[in-house]
């Protein structure tokens, strides 16, 4: 029962992963306050600051030792424990500690300010380094300094793995690295101040089937740990401290939602084809190996997008060739005889992986991301390509490159592939000589020249999340512009059509692996445009299959000819919703 004295708060955010949850809130505190600047301190104050700083260092060391002991108890890998040891070493480092104390005394400033200045000086040195290993040491120092700062300010830094009982996480932000660590039995849902529908944390929430609402702006100020919260991940509705009668209403809705999801299993073993016999391949998107069971249960006909960057997250070192081969082989074997499309590393923007913390960009979504990062770091790229090639000896693997912006870039990526093949040949290591190569079309420049790109590859896959981000100039993780993220926008539809037409004309397979593929209304348009493969998260597969089985390809094609001349997203939505089979009207 909810405390009647508590105020009921109704909030509306962006529902990014459907499902209804009623549970207790857990506020994840990880605020990093701006360092205050106090100067001209007197001698007693200076002594107090030095003492405060030393106490914060000691507290940080004790915390690290506790984490290390827990890791040893849980039998976590040596490499994790080595990171903690490295952090403990930094806390003993004379330069960091003595320089900070010297600065407090010399400049008569407060501890936070002195520590920030020492860190800035150290970082200047690390940022200039090209060697990713040395860069990484820089980010180790940053992490540990952040911990000391938090201890100085009395704030806490909490992790999603800290939960002792199942709860709804409330946080300012949740990163893809956090979602990758979420235990579905403990994290009932997550709610954040910031974020957008196609941010990678949102995508992982859908894959893990954790209901989530993002872009709530100030939920961290409105909810407290222990509050009862209702989350409707489909509509983005969040109710803090609801009345008992409202809880009852949502319990009934939850039952309805669950029985709807169960009823969809009726379609699981049916072929995915339109009424007039056009076959569409329905594949699964995955980030983590834990999603395989769910994808198979929902009848995925292979993997249409494996986001390999998650192999590189939540760790300090890079995955070796043999570690990657093992991971890829596992997926290929589980999916056999269906194919697995492995996308090469797409780090940058909202996904930060090992070796990247040192890169500071003012506009990371347009910066050194995905294929651009790989072509600058060819050793990392080549290791991955070798691993993918070697895993291809064990099953059907296709490989695709993300964020291709032009033919030259694609050729550069393919030349690294050729080098890797030559190396394997020389080493007498097996791989599939006929492994298909694809390009993701997610940058408008590539879409515009799709006719030139399709000549160079075996298939293309349209990444609508980024294609929309870049075509509409909307940062996909920014909640303030999320309202402009409109898949029915005529420009989005036209640009997709350019790619589908070019691929169809060249006889090259064209798929969509962005989030649009998993929504029935958008899938209807994609099929009408001639896309032959749709890849999505597990829970969308049967909804989309039901749609495809209830339409005719010839009708969809005709309808989609008309929509590219409509002027606004609202016009398109109205037109399509009227043409959708009756059973989908309720979903609009
Ligand atoms: C996309 O951009 O649509 C896509 C599938 O890739 P990601 O979401 O991983 O950027
Ligand atoms: Mg993308």
463 lines ligand 1 (CB under 6 A): yes
In which region does residue 346 sit, left (phi positive, over 0), alpha (psi from -120 to 50) or beta (all else)? beta
Provide CATH code, domain 9-29+159-262.
3.50.30.10
Mean pLDDT of the region 290-301: 94
The confidence band for 79, taking pLDDT boundaries of 50, 70 and 90, is: low
Most confident of 8-22, 338-352, 497-511: 497-511
User: Is residue 586 over pLDDT 60?
Assistant: no
CA 187 to chain CA mean position, Å: 17
pLDDT in tens, 470-491: 999 999 988 899 899 999 999 9
Q: How far apart are CA 25 and CA 266, in angstroms?
A: 35
Are residues 222 and 193 in contact, defined by beta-carbon separation less than 8 angstroms?
no
Alpha helix segments (H runs only) across 110-243: 111-127, 132-153, 176-181, 200-208, 219-222
Residue 150 beta carbon below 6 angstroms from any ligand 1 atom:
no
CA angle, 581 then 586 then 588, to 5°: 90
Q: Which fold has domain 268-583?
A: TIM Barrel (3.20.20)
| Ligand 1 pocket, residue 17 CB under 6 Å | no
Q: Is the peptide bond before 393 cis (omega within 30 degrees of 0)?
A: no
Q: Backbone phi, then psi, for 73, in 5-degree steps?
A: -65, -40
The DSSP call for residue 348 is B
CA distance 539 to 537: 6
Contacts of 69 (CB under 8 A, 6+ apart): none
Residue of 179, 346, 438, 460 to mutate, ligand 1, most atoms within 8 A of C-beta: 346
Residue 343 confidence (pLDDT): 98
What is the predicted pLDDT for the residue at 304?
98
Nearest to 192 by CA among 212, 163, 165, 166: 212
* 143/147 Cα distance (integer angstroms): 6
Give the pLDDT mean for 216-232.
94
Domain boundaries, given as residue ranges, for the chain: 9-29+159-262, 43-153, 268-583
Our answer on whether the CB atom of 377 is closer than 6 Å to any ligand 1 atom is no
Ligand nearest to the CA of 204: 1
Question: How far does residue 464's CA lie from ligand 2's centre (Å)?
Answer: 7
Percent of the chain residues past pLDDT 70, beyond the cut: 91
Q: Which ligand 1 atom is nearest residue 349's CA?
A: 10
**Residue pLDDT, tens place only, 107-166:** 999 999 999 888 888 877 776 766 655 655 666 677 678 778 888 877 666 777 778 899
How far, in Å, from the CA of 556 to the mean position of ligand 2?
27
Ligand 1: which residue has its CA nearest to atom 1? 463
For ligand 1, atom 9: residue with the closest CA: 307
pLDDT mean across residues, the chain: 89
Cα dihedral sign for 428, 431, 436, 440?
negative
Answer whether residue 511 shows pLDDT above 60.
yes
Residue 588 confidence (pLDDT):
43
Query: At residue 501, what are phi and psi to the nearest 5 degrees?
Result: -60, -45
Q: How confident is the model at residue 362 (pLDDT cuts 50, 70, 90)?
A: confident
The predicted pLDDT at position 358 comes to 57
For strand 14-17 and strand 212-214, is the pairing parallel, antiparallel, or unpaired?
antiparallel
The H or E element containing residue 311 is none
d(CA 315, CA 319): 9
Residue 421, pLDDT > 70, answer: yes
Encode pLDDT of 548-583 as tens digits. Answer: 999 999 999 999 999 999 999 999 999 999 988 776
What's the pTM?
0.78
Q: Which stretch of DSSP H or E encloses residue 533? A: strand 533-536
The number of beta carbons lying within 10 Å of the beta carbon of residue 94 is: 7
Confidence category of residue 62, pLDDT binned at 50, 70, 90: confident
What is the rounded CA–CA span in Å between residue 532 and residue 279?
A: 8
Token duo for residue 448: 């515009």
User: How much is the CA Rg of the chain, to the nearest whole Å?
Assistant: 26
The residue whose C-alpha atom lies closest to atom 8 belonging to ligand 1 is 465
Looking at residue 570, the DSSP 8-state letter turns out to be H
Please say if the pLDDT value at position 500 is more than 50: yes
Question: Is 464's C-beta closer than 6 angstroms to any atom of ligand 1?
Answer: yes
Q: What is the DSSP string of 484-505?
A: G--TT-HHHHHHHHHHHHHHHH
The alpha carbon of 14 and the centre of ligand 1 are apart by a number of angstroms equal to 18
Tell which one of 199, 404, 466, 534 to mutate to probe ligand 1, the residue whose CB is within 8 A of the most ligand atoms: 466
3-state secondary structure 209-234: CCCEEECCCCHHHHCCCCCEEEEECC
466 lines ligand 1 (CB under 6 A): yes
Please provide residue 133's backbone torsions phi and psi, each rounded to the nearest 5 degrees. -65, -45
* Residue 171 bridge partners (DSSP): 192
Tell me, what's the pLDDT at 71?
Answer: 60
* Closest atom of ligand 1 to CA, residue 203: 8
- Indicate if the pLDDT at residue 369 is higher than 90: yes
Q: Angle at Cα 583 formed by Cα 577 and Cα 585, nearest 5°?
A: 30
What confidence category does residue 316 fall into, taking pLDDT thresholds of 50, 70 and 90?
A: confident
Which token pair is 174?
């949740």
Q: Give SS3 for 243.
A: coil
Ligand 1 close to Cβ of residue 299 (< 6 A):
no
CB atoms within 10 A of CB 7: 8
Dihedral, CA of residue 502, residue 504, residue 505 and residue 507, to nearest 10: 120
- Residue 297: pLDDT above 50? yes
178, 205 Cβ separation under 8 angstroms: no
Residues known to be catalytic = 200, 513
| 344 HSE (CA, 13 A, CB side) | 34
C-alpha to C-alpha distance for 20 and 14, rounded to whole angstroms: 14
Per the CB < 8 A criterion, the answer to whether 239 and 246 are in contact is: yes
pLDDT score, position 177: 72
Please state, in angstroms and rounded to a whole number, the distance separating the CA atoms of residues 400 and 182. 28
Please give the CATH topology (third level) of the domain spanning 43-153: Enzyme I; Chain A, domain 2 (1.10.274)
Check: CB of residue 280 under 8 Å from CB of residue 272.
Answer: yes
Q: Is the distance from the beta carbon of residue 514 to the nearest atom of ligand 1 less than 6 Å?
A: yes
């Amino acid at each position: 029962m909810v405390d009647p004295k508590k105020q009921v708060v109704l909030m509306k955010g962006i529902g990014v992963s459907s499902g209804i949850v009623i549970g207790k809130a857990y506020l994840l505190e990880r605020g990093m306050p701006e360092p205050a600047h106090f100067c001209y301190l007197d001698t007693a104050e200076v002594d107090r600051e030095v003492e405060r700083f030393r106490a914060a260092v000691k507290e940080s060391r004790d915390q690290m030792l506790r984490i290390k002991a827990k890791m040893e108890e849980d039998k976590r890998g040596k490499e994790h424990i080595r990171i903690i040891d490295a952090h403990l070493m930094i806390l003993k480092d004379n330069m960091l500690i003595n320089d900070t104390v010297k600065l407090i005394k010399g400049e008569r400033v407060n501890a936070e300010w002195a520590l920030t200045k020492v860190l800035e000086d150290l970082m200047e040195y690390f940022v200039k380094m090209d060697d990713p290993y040395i860069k990484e040491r820089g980010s180790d120092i940053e992490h540990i300094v952040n911990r000391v700062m938090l201890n100085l300010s009395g704030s806490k830094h909490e992790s999603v793995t800290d939960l002792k009982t199942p709860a709804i996480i409330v946080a300012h932000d949740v990163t893809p690295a956090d979602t990758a660590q979420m235990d579905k039995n403990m994290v009932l849902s997550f709610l954040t101040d910031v974020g957008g529908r196609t941010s990678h944390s949102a995508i992982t929430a859908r894959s893990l089937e954790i209901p989530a609402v993002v872009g709530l702006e100030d939920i961290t100020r409105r909810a407290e740990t222990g509050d009862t919260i209702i989350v409707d991940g489909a509509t983005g509705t969040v109710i803090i401290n609801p009345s008992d009668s409202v809880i009852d209403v949502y319990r009934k809705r939850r039952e309805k939602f669950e029985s709807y999801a169960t009823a969809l299993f009726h379609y699981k073993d049916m072929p995915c084809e339109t009424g007039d016999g056009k076959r569409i391949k329905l594949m699964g998107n995955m980030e983590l190996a834990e999603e395989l069971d769910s994808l198979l249960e929902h009848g995925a006909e292979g993997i249409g997008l494996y986001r390999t960057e998650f192999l590189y997250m939540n760790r300090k070192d890079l995955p070796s060739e043999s570690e990657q081969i093992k991971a890829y082989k596992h997926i290929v074997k589980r999916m056999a005889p269906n194919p697995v499309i492995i996308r090469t590393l797409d780090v940058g923007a909202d996904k930060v992986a090992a070796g990247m913390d040192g890169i500071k960009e003012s506009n990371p979504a347009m910066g050194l991301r995905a294929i651009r990062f790989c072509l600058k770091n060819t050793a990392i790229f080549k290791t991955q390509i070798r691993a993918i090639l070697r895993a291809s000896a064990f099953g059907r693997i296709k490989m695709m490159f993300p964020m291709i912006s032009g033919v030259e870039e694609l050729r550069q990526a393919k030349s690294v592939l050729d080098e890797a093949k030559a190396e394997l040949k020389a080493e007498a290591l097996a791989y599939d000589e006929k492994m298909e190569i694809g390009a993701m079309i997610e940058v408008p420049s590539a879409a515009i020249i799709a006719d030139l790109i399709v000549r160079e590859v075996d298939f293309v896959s349209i990444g609508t999340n980024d294609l929309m981000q870049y075509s509409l100039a909307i940062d996909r993780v920014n909640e303030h512009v999320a309202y402009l993220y409109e898949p029915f926008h005529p420009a989005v539809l036209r640009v997709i059509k350019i790619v589908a037409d070019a691929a169809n004309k060249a006889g090259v397979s064209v798929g969509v692996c962005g989030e649009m593929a998993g929504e029935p209304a958008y899938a209807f348009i994609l099929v009408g445009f001639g896309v032959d493969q749709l890849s999505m998260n597990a829970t969308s597969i049967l909804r989309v299959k039901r749609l495809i089985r209830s339409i005719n390809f010839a009708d969809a094609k005709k309808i989609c000819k008309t929509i590219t001349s409509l002027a606004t997203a609202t016009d398109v939505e109205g037109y399509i919703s009227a043409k959708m089979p009756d059973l989908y009207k309720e979903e609009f």
